[in-house]
Amino acid sequence: MVKLNTNENPYPPSPRVLEAIARAADASVRLYPDPEAHALRAQAARVYGVPADHIMAGNGSDELLALVLRATIDPGDRVAFPVPTYSLYETLVAVQGGAAVRVPFPDDFSLPPALAAARARVTLLCNPNSPSGTLVPLERVEALARALPGLLVVDEAYVDLRVRARARDGRPAPERARVAHALQVVLAGRAAGRLAFGHPICWPGCAR
Ligand SMILES: Cc1ncc(COP(=O)(O)O)c(C=O)c1O
């Protein structure tokens, strides 16, 4: 049986990954790691074609989503997201004392127009969405970002699983990263199984 309801890899890691972990498990594990993850961010910057100081690293995208909300939400602020979606958003908004604005997806899981109309301080978009697996094309995400008064956070935890959809969408990761870079968008996601890391990409200033 393959468990699909969490962002886990049903396949074992490549032997080269296990070798790299074994190599890294040396005497330095008694020390704290580089808190700013310079090496990871430099590599991510090369892959996505954006400056390294516009990238944050975190212990999985859950941590990054929590940090983004902690940094941006005051008690009572509105946080909008289409539903049904990733259930943790409710919890993260509640932890910050925010007001969740739940906007129902239409039957085809396209972007609900009421999302932009909610005029929230932060809008969360899980893309591809969990549990529907549907993808909002980049043009729509761009248009949403332009229509919003606040911050748009796009959670791309599952984007690498939508290979065919990405091919149809025709937008490679660097192009999405550039959109995030230019607009009020934080692109969160990219986990590597339980060895989770995440690196949101965002416009200048937000990452600092
Ligand atoms: C939509 C979505 N976002 C984020 C996460 C969290 O992923 P991570 O393991 O990187 O914290 C999950 C995990 O299942 C998820 O389903």
Is any atom of ligand 1 closer than 6 Å to the C-beta of 127?
no
Name the token pair of 68: 């983004």
Q: Tell me the best of 86, 129, 159 to mutate to test the pocket of ligand 1, counting ligand atoms within 8 Å of each CB and taking the most.
A: 86
Q: If you measure from the C-alpha of residue 182 to the centroid of ligand 1, how many angstroms do you get, rounded to a whole number? A: 25
How far, CA to CA in Å, does 78 sit from each of 47, 101, 155, 192, 206? 34, 7, 18, 31, 19
pLDDT at residue 203 in the model: 64
d(CA 117, CA 114): 5
Q: If you measure from the C-alpha of residue 61 to the centroid of ligand 1, how many angstroms do you get, rounded to a whole number? A: 6
d(CA 202, CA 5): 27
pLDDT at residue 168 in the model: 52
pLDDT at residue 188 in the model: 64
Q: Tell me the best of 7, 8, 134 to mutate to test the pocket of ligand 1, counting ligand atoms within 8 Å of each CB and taking the most.
A: 7
Q: Where are the domains of the chain?
A: 35-207
pLDDT at residue 126 in the model: 93
CATH code of the domain occupying 35-207: 3.40.640.10
Tens-level pLDDT at each residue, the chain (208 residues)? 777 767 777 888 899 999 999 998 999 999 998 988 899 889 888 888 888 888 888 888 888 899 889 999 999 999 999 999 999 999 999 999 999 999 999 999 999 999 999 989 999 999 989 999 899 988 899 899 889 988 999 988 887 776 555 555 556 666 766 666 666 667 665 544 344 455 666 666 665 5
pLDDT at residue 158 in the model: 81
Cα 27 off chain centre by: 33
Is any atom of ligand 1 closer than 6 Å to the C-beta of 198?
yes
Query: From its phi and psi, is residue 2 left (phi > 0), alpha (psi between -120 and 50) or beta?
Result: beta
Q: If you measure from the C-alpha of residue 55 to the centroid of ligand 1, how many angstroms do you get, rounded to a whole number? A: 18
